[in-house]
Structure formats: structure tokens, C-alpha cells
Amino acid sequence: MNWITLVIAGMLEVVWAIGLKYTNGFSRLWPTVGTVLAIITSIWLLAIAMKSLPVGTAYAIWVGIGAVGTAIAGVILFGESANIGRVLSLVLIIAGIIGLKLSTAT
């Protein structure tokens, strides 16, 4: 269950990272409210996952999910570049996430 909680926390990190773009510097009320709620929930779920996962592993996976998800969302939503360098870099991050999961006992 702790891994599922961590993955949900990571997906919410994507939500709030993309949400920041829509807040227009926190000048738009509803995108700001949604983004702040996603931030709070994401960090809360990360803290819950850290009760039983190593802090370094949990944090690295949370950040990795957020980074990869946000980069993919940026390509889809904002037409950002999906060149070979970016794609290979994202693949390396995913490999690191998988490696951390496989090397963690819990």
C-alpha cells in the first residue's frame, strides 16, 4: 500500500506542477486553489509513504514520477519539444525509479 500511496503522491506532483502554469503567478483563483490543494495532498501522501519506505528512496521516486510526468504533460499540453535527448533522459529517470523500487526491501 505504501508504494501505491507514493505513486499517487507523484502523480499529484505532476498535477500541481502543471497547475502552476495555469495559476498565472497565483493571480487566478481557481487554478491557484486546485494547485495548492494538489501540493498539500501530494506532500501529505509522500509523508505517509515515508512512514515505511526509506526517505531517500521515497523522495527520489516522488521527484522522478513528478519530473517524468510533468515533462510528458508539457509535451502533450504545451507542445514542448520531444527530441531524442529529452526522451532518452526521461528513459534514464524511469530506469532509476525502477532500480530504486527493485532495490528497496519493503
Q: 55-78 and 29-49 helices cross at what angle (nearest 10)? A: 150
Residues 88, 82: Cα–Cα separation, whole Å: 10
CB neighbourhood size of 76 (10 A): 11
pTM as predicted: 0.90
Residue 105, pLDDT above cutoff 80 = no
Tally the domains of the chain: 1
- pLDDT tens-place string over residues 28-65: 999 999 999 999 999 999 999 999 999 999 999 999 99
Output the average pLDDT for the chain.
Answer: 96
Residues 84, 92: Cα–Cα separation, whole Å: 12
Residue 106, pLDDT above cutoff 70 = no
Q: List all residues 6 or more positions away from 43 whose beta carbon is below 8 Å from its beta carbon.
A: 9
Domain span including residue 49? 1-103
Residue 14: what pLDDT? 98
Q: Provide the pLDDT confidence category of residue 104 given band limits of 50, 70 and 90.
A: confident
